[in-house]
């Protein structure tokens, strides 16, 4: 199970996939993957579109990639990605990252130490991989959380007053 | 010859019913099923049913029914396998017979007051029943009683996307509804929890408002709420 200061442990692929299959209907809320606009490029990866809503009403589109190699004992890996490559290049893809300012619960770092992008939140795998400090009440508990929590928390902050637009402007065409 | 005036009056007010093809006399008004079974000499291992236009209705052994005259009853052997099934009414499990059950019987079984509406929770929706009529029971059905016009609320735990739906009261505060939702979700409140309207707007400044006040203020009119738990990070 997840705990502070411990490196996450890989799940067996069959356990990870069966947990993902189990929790997927709850996350989709009676929609199909297509209806929700989600994609599953491989058995252990989901790509979920999210929208940021600025105070002035501007809506920005993002793509969140979730990886389930450590799931369900640890939260899913979560990264914002370039919609063309479905990857993140810290030199070129900052425009695909949301700017979260002043939120005490979540931050999005374009380049954190040596790991690159970090969605700093106790509901992402990367948060534990860097051995971030965490209060006991915030630790991921497999019996109390599923990956909906990760999506919902990131979606919440993108619609909160802490959301301030993109980290970099989109390149002009 | 009847000489006692009270007996005479009772005698004059008997009506005819049929049980298993035989005509019997009984008093009009409420009759116990037990009395009808005795009258028709229905064997212990058989169920007494009333023939109605909409079909045959099995009668509860300890139940009562209103007799007007002309009613037709038949008895038949009970189902041998699982003669009774379980239904949930207002969160309590009750046993009843499989097949057609009257709304009146289910309300009586679950202690639902006569002036309340019986509603079945099916496919995540509440379906109201009228005061009369029947429901086909297979086992596992969930019913609740509620007053007419009471609001339905839906609360989702954002940690799991588990949702609960229940009837609240217009004079309940949002805080009370939130407390009920924790119990329904089998969750405990934690410091930092936040109640949101579906869509993300915080409702924390409205917790002391009643649902009626929120309706007047046009706040979260669809009453779909979400519980968000604080996280660490940043």
- ipTM of the shown complex: 0.92
Domain-located, residue A171: no
The total of structural domains in chain B comes to 3
Cα-flanking dihedrals φ and ψ of residue A53, to 5°? -125, 110
Q: Which residues of A touch B155 (CB under 8 A)?
A: none
Q: Say yes or no: B188 contacts chain A, CB-CB below 8 A.
A: no
**Residue A7 domain-assigned?**
no
Q: Does B234 touch chain A (CB under 8 A)?
A: yes
Summarised one tens digit per residue, pLDDT across range A9-63 is: 999 999 999 999 999 999 999 899 999 999 999 999 999 999 999 999 999 999 9
The closest alpha carbon to B15, from B96, B58, B72, belongs to: B72
Residue B139 maps to which CATH number? 3.10.20
Looking at the predicted structure, is the pLDDT value of residue B2 above 60?
no
CA angle B127, B132, B134 (to 5 degrees): 65
* Closest chain B CA to residue A22: B160
Contacts with A29 from chain B: Cβ below 8 Å: 161
Q: Is B231 close to A123, i.e. CB distance below 8 A? A: yes
CB contact under 8 A, B232 and A155: no
Q: Which of B196, B197, B198, B231 to mutate to test the interface with A (most CBs of A within 10 A)?
A: B231
Residue B8 in any domain: the answer is: no
Provide the number of CB pairs (under 8 Å) joining chain A to chain B: 73
Which residue has 């009750």 as its token pair?
Answer: B94
Tell whether B159 and B201 lie within a shared domain: yes
**Nearest to A95, CA basis, from A40, A173, A168:** A168
Question: CA-to-CA distance for A73 and A70, rounded, in angstroms?
Answer: 7
Residue A7 pLDDT > 80, yes or no? yes
- Report the predicted TM-score, pTM, of the whole model to 2 decimal places: 0.78
Per-residue pLDDT of A96-139, as tens digits, reads: 999 999 999 999 999 998 889 999 999 999 999 999 999 999 99
Q: Which structural domain range is residue B99 located in?
A: 84-146
Q: Give strand ranges (E) for chain B.
A: 15-19, 22-26, 29-32, 46-52, 55-58, 64-67, 72-77, 84-89, 92-97, 99-102, 117-122, 125-128, 134-137, 142-146, 152-157, 162-167, 194-197, 224-228
Q: Check which CATH number belongs to the domain holding A123 and give it.
A: 3.10.110
- In this prediction, residue A2 has a pLDDT band, given cuts at 50, 70 and 90, of confident
B167 and B135 within one domain: no
High-pLDDT (> 70) share of chain A, %: 99
Same domain for B141 and B111? yes
What's the CATH code of the domain at B202?
3.10.20.90
Q: In B, which residues are within 8 Å of A153 by CB distance?
A: 158, 228, 231
> Are residue B178 and residue B211 in the same domain, yes or no?
yes
Q: Is residue A3 part of a domain?
A: no
Total of domains in chain A: 1
State whether B209 and B167 are in the same domain: yes
B156 & B219 share domain: yes
Beta strands in A2-106 (DSSP E): 39-42, 45-53, 59-67, 77-80, 98-100
């Amino acid at each position: 199970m997840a705990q502070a200061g411990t490196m996450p442990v890989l799940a067996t692929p069959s356990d990870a996939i069966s947990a993902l299959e189990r929790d997927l209907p709850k996350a989709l809320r009676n929609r199909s993957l297509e209806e929700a606009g989600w994609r599953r490029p491989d058995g252990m990866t989901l790509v979920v579109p999210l929208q940021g809503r600025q105070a002035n009403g501007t809506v920005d589109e993002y793509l969140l990639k979730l990886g389930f190699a450590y799931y369900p004992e640890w939260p899913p890996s979560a990264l914002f990605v370039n919609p063309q490559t479905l990857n993140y290049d810290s030199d070129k893809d900052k425009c695909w990252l949301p700017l979260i300012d002043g939120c005490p619960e979540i931050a999005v770092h374009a380049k954190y130490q040596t790991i690159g992008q970090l969605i700093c939140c106790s509901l992402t795998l990367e948060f534990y991989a860097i051995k971030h400090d965490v209060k006991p009440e915030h630790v991921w508990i497999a019996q109390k959380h599923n990956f909906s929590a990760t999506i919902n928390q990131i979606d919440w902050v993108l619609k909160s007053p802490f959301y301030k637009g993109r980290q970099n402007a989109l390149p002009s065409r | 010859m009847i000489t006692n005036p009270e007996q005479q009056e009772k005698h004059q007010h008997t009506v005819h019913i049929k049980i298993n093809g035989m005509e019997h006399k009984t008093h009009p008004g409420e009759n116990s099923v037990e009395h009808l079974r005795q009258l028709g000499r229905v064997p212990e291992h058989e169920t007494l049913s009333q023939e109605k236009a909409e079909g045959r209705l099995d009668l509860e052994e300890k139940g009562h029914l209103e007799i007007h005259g002309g009613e037709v009853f038949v008895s038949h052997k009970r189902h041998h396998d699982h003669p009774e099934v379980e239904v949930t009414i207002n969160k309590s499990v009750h046993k009843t017979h499989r097949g057609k059950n009257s709304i009146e019987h289910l309300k009586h079984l679950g202690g639902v007051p006569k002036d309340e509406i019986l509603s079945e929770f099916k496919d995540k929706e509440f379906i109201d029943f009228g005061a009369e009529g029947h429901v086909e029971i297979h086992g596992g059905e969930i019913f609740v009683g509620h007053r007419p016009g009471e609001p339905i609320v839906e609360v989702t735990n954002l940690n799991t996307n588990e949702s609960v739906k229940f009837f609240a009261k217009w004079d309940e505060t949002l805080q009370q509804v939130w407390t009920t939702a924790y119990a329904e979700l089998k969750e405990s409140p934690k410091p930092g929890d936040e109640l949101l309207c579906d869509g993300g707007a915080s409702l924390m400044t409205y917790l002391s408002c009643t649902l009626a006040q929120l309706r007047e203020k046009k706040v979260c009119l669809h009453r779909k709420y979400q519980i968000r738990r604080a996280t660490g990070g940043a």
